[in-house]
């Protein structure tokens, strides 16, 4: 099993965050970078769209703009998430390739492998987390809001979703994103997702489950320890290489900040299939 890198970054805007994760994936596919677990936040708060999600009016983008939120399209599949910043949410990403752990080449096994580590970390915080079993995916039934539906090997507390995930695979490698809810503002969620009768109806937060709100740093520490304990990873702190930083800057500028990518998943000079096939989740 390869040595793993733990990256914890300061909050970035949507384009910088998504560009950084794609750079980590491309670096791993080229054999230049190690498998990586990253924990990060967002500044400003940002709505992230799933790779293939249509801007069809189910998300009130004008309301999001009035609230000072950013907008970005992820390279991963699934539905939209409102990332409220590190005081209310922790986002994780995992980048790996075949051989980095048993089953890394299999979609559902990667969901299960990552979910088991996340569950252990959340239980260490005191949360009574359950991991759901494999569930069939129906793209036609995909809601606009990620937390309105629980997918295969995602995490629940008392039947309500606490963490949503989505993945993208290319060749022997994959990138998986996920969002762990520390707290939530129902009024802001309702304004951004007006089609949801009750945005909190199918989800919960660590604050609600624990009676306290764990910090971003505490949650990141417990989740990292979950990966170490469940899978025996030598997960140590690490930074980005100069090549990864340069690639992330290029992707942010020429892809993730462009209107074509945000609106349609297309950007000048970057083919639609730059990082492979998105898979449903979130």
pLDDT at 282: 47
Question: In angstroms, rounded to a whole number, what is the distance separating the alpha carbons of residues 232 and 73?
Answer: 33
Element (H, E) at 189: helix 186-192
pLDDT at 2: 67
pLDDT at 133: 76
Task: Give the residues of the chain that fall short of pLDDT 70.
Answer: 1-2, 134-151, 199, 267-282
* CATH number of the CATH domain containing 246: 3.30.930.10
Give me the active site residues, please.
146
pLDDT at 198: 73
Question: In angstroms, rounded to a whole number, what is the distance separating the alpha carbons of residues 274 and 266?
Answer: 10
pLDDT at 271: 47
Q: Residues 211-264: pLDDT tens digits?
A: 999 999 999 999 999 999 999 999 999 999 999 999 999 999 999 999 999 988
Question: In angstroms, rounded to a whole number, what is the distance separating the alpha carbons of residues 251 and 197?
Answer: 37
Q: What is the DSSP string of 201-253?
A: TTB--HHHHHSS---HHHHHHHHHHHHHHHH---EEE----HHHHHHHHHHII
Domain ranges, residue 270: 4-279
**Does pTM top 0.75 for this prediction?**
yes
Q: How many domains does the chain have?
A: 1
Phi/psi at 225 (5° precision): -65, -30
Q: Residues 119-133: pLDDT tens digits?
A: 999 999 999 999 987
pLDDT at 249: 98
Share in percent of the chain as helix, strand, coil (round to 5): 35, 25, 40
């Amino acid at each position: 099993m390869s040595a793993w890198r733990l990256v914890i970054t300061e909050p970035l805007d949507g384009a910088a965050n998504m560009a950084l994760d794609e750079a980590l994936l491309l670096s791993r596919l080229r054999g230049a970078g190690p498998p990586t677990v990253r924990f990060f936040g967002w500044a400003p708060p940002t709505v992230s769209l799933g790779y293939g999600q249509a801007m069809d009016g189910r998300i009130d983008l004008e309301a999001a703009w009035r609230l000072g939120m950013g907008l970005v399209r992820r390279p991963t599949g699934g539905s939209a998430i409102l990332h409220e910043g590190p005081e209310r949410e922790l986002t994780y990403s995992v980048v790996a390739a075949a051989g980095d752990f048993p089953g890394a080449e299999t979609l559902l096994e990667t969901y299960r492998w990552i979910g088991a580590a996340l569950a252990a970390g959340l239980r260490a915080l005191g949360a009574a987390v359950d991991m759901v079993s494999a569930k069939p995916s129906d793209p036609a039934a995909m809601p606009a809001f990620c937390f309105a539906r629980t997918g295969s090997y995602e995490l629940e507390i008392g039947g309500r979703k606490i963490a949503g995930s989505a993945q993208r695979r290319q060749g022997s490698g994959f990138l998986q994103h996920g969002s762990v809810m520390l707290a939530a503002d129902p009024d802001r969620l309702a304004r951004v997702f007006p089609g949801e009768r009750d945005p909190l109806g199918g989800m919960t937060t660590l604050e609600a489950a624990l009676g306290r709100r764990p910090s971003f740093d505490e949650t990141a520490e417990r989740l990292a320890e979950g990966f170490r304990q469940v899978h025996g990873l030598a997960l140590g702190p690490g930074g980005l290489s100069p090549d990864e930083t340069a690639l992330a800057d290029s992707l942010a500028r020429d892809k993730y900040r462009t209107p074509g990518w945000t609106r349609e998943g297309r950007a000048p000079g970057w083919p639609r299939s730059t990082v492979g096939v998105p898979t449903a989740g979130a």
